[in-house]
Chain A
Amino acid sequence: MSGNVIILAVIVLGIIGLTAAVLLFFISKAFKVEENPMIDEVAALLPGANCGGCGFAGCRGLAEAIVKSGNIGELRCPAGGNSTMENIAKLMGLEAVAAAPVIAVVRCNGTCENAPAKVNYDSMPSCFFANSLYAGASACPYGCLGCGDCVEACRFDAIHIDPVTKLPVVDENLCVGCGACAKTCPRHIIELRDKGTSGRVYVACMNKEKGAAAKKNCSAACIGCGKCAKNCPAEAITVENNLAYIDFRKCTLCQTCVSGCPTGAIHFSGATSEPEMEQKADE
């Protein structure tokens, strides 16, 4: 009896399967969507991380846009960089415009030491939620919340929370500059800046409060004193709303501002400079 049931089931399911297969075969023939085979070829050249850095939902979206528009123009895969764009241009018989690679920098230096925590946060471990619930453990309403939404957003494993400082650190070698972290940060403290060949100089603070108020919560805050702007030989620094900003297009990496900043809010990072190397050796 039970043997019969099994055989019957196999036969019935087999027939259903077969019929469905035949039907699907003809349906797929009849409703076939003609697609430019170039899209597949272009997509194959892209990194396939679907990071969204190009502005499309995924790599295929960018491939479609490139093939459909027929030129590269503003379209660009930041993760793949110049080499990927050149390959695509070659495939399509176009010319790629080389762009300087960018990298994410974290514009906050509210470490546990600089900005001591006054309260403990114990709700959802997410900056998105923490931002709506309170101003931050150090009470700086502009600083890093440290819950790691940027780490979660990164598809390249290039950003991590430092266990000592509780701040995100960008891995120079892995960051492709897609900007996923910058987009997800509720406080907008991550900025994409020119990677440069020999490093970057930036203000590691986003606090727009007046000097005294900013300094109260964080000893490394930008107090908007304007010393950096005055001394910058390249006139790359502007101070607005009590906060200095360095234009990376003008900056010559002379680092006058780095040594001159009274609170140490201006940072140099990248290809390690010689004085820093010596310092490290001393430590």
Chain B
Amino acid sequence: MKTFKIGGVHPEAQKLSNEVSVETFPLPKQATVFVTQSLGAPAVPVVAKGDKVKVGQLLAKAEAFICANVHSPFSGTVNKIEPVADFTGYKKSAIVIDVEGDEWDESIDTTEDIVSEIKLNREEIIERMKACGIVGLGGACFPTHVKYMLPPGKSADFILVNAAECEPYITTDYRMMLEQTEACLIGVEALLIASGAKQALIGIENNKPEAIKKLKEAVKTHPKIEIVPLKTKYPQGAEKQLIQALTGRTVPNGKLPIDVGCIVNNIATTHAVYEAVQKNKPLIETYTTITGKKLEKRKNYKIRLGTPLKDVLDTVGIPENTGKIISGGPMMGKAIANTNTFFVKGMSSILFLDASESKRVPESGCIRCGKCIQACPMGLEPYLFRMLAVQHRLEDLEAHGIMNCIECGCCQSGCPAHIPLLDTVKTGKSQTGTMIKSRQAKKS
């Protein structure tokens, strides 16, 4: 069974909402759409207070290179544009919309029919992905079209699709594979055209036999796509790990997947690409798993972006003794410090952790056991990063390769001293990144 070479852990799968079909969450009365919905620069609002908007209409335009368009997920009136707190509590510019009815932009095909024939050519597909604001839905929200604007001299051999869904608890990708099988595969075909690659490999962890079976059946009509079952090991879905598992190629530190001839996309992204390319539908929804051990109503929701998180929490009911609510999975997700916020692109899970699960065990001293080094899939030394980060030694952090950290959390999950390694390493990494950026800015 294929997998990546070093590190990795095996957390309990906890796929509690596996059998729950995707439901559409009802429209809210008022919605708040953040203008920053991707990695990179914020998009610039193109609507003003009082404007009438339709579903799918452009709200904020991407002007920087790494940035994605934001479209209106609702029809209604723009109430105001002001800073609104996101889940960390920090405020970001957002567009508040009073929802009225559900009127879609005419150019969008809203039927359920599957459109198989791809009429657009390579440039048109990339342009469409850009126009529709497609971002990587594996978690990082990197604008997808940027990945397909290949640097001169580079070409793609493979499109790799991450269907590993290696984070515990999350089940939206799994449901997507079962319910939208054909749409996802057509999305992959579109990505093949956009990249010029000859073959696409879809990697699925072998703990999802039904999805593997269904996809294997469906790819019979798609000769360029191959399904590859992978060993169940976290972080199988991380970009560099997936490349290694599927192709045996290793992305050198500081290089991009395209340097080894690969482009990686999530299975949810391929579905969004299908909708954009075949139906001209911008990315205005997120598929989100609502889960937790103590939660009674576990759900897989299709939620319009900008829907208040409170609405969802009220619908499912916060279980008693909830210690933490996490956005994302338990490994890489972030604790929600402000529940008075709104859904954004790539919010793939809302996880309720019981007080007993979420309580941190008091930290004891590092005994240099090396478990974190063993677990690190990037071959780094997390205990050292943590020490250097605490001392704010950013140059040393850079020298020891902190920028290669993928923030997967393997180091922290196995630490016998219960040291919050990931929190410290993440902060050190972001500070080091800022330092490197300001140094480059000074040079140029």
Q: Which residues of A contact B (CB under 8 A)?
A: 118-119, 122-124, 126, 128-129, 132-136, 139, 141, 209
Contact = CB atoms under 8 A, between A and B. Distances in A.
A132 to B, nearest CB: 4
Interface string B404-436: 000000000000000010011011001100000
Contacts of A132: 426-427, 430-431
A242 to B, nearest CB: 12
Contacts of B390: 124, 126
16 contacts: A118-B338, A123-B420, A124-B390, A124-B423, A128-B392, A128-B427, A129-B423, A129-B427, A132-B426, A132-B430, A133-B88, A133-B427, A134-B89, A134-B335, A135-B85, A139-B338
B39 interface: no
B90 A141 contact: yes
Nearest to A129: B427
A135 B420 contact: no
Contacts of B85: 135, 139
B426 A136 contact: no
B119 interface: no
A138 to B, nearest CB: 9
B316 interface: no
Nearest to B87: A134
Nearest to A184: B392
A126 B428 CA distance: 13
Given A119-B337, A128-B392, A135 B88 contact: yes
B360 interface: yes
Interface residues of B, number: 20
Nearest to A136: B89
B222 interface: no
Given A126-B390, A128-B427, A132-B430, A139 B89 contact: yes
> Which secondary structure characterizes the binding site on chain A?
loop
B337 A134 contact: yes
Contacts, number: 49
B430 A124 contact: no
B430 A135 contact: no
A139 B339 CA distance: 11
Nearest to A131: B427
A119 B340 CA distance: 12
B90 A135 contact: yes
Contacts of B338: 118-119, 134-135, 139
A126 to B, nearest CB: 7
A210 to B, nearest CB: 9
A134 B88 contact: yes
A141 B89 contact: yes
A136 B91 CA distance: 12
Contacts of B90: 134-135, 141
A52 to B, nearest CB: 13
Contacts of B423: 123-124, 129, 133
A135 B360 contact: no
A129 B390 CA distance: 9
A119 B325 CA distance: 11
Sorted from nearest, which 6 A-B pairs have the closest CB atoms?
A135-B89, A134-B337, A132-B427, A123-B423, A139-B89, A134-B88
A53 B431 CA distance: 24
A118 B85 CA distance: 14
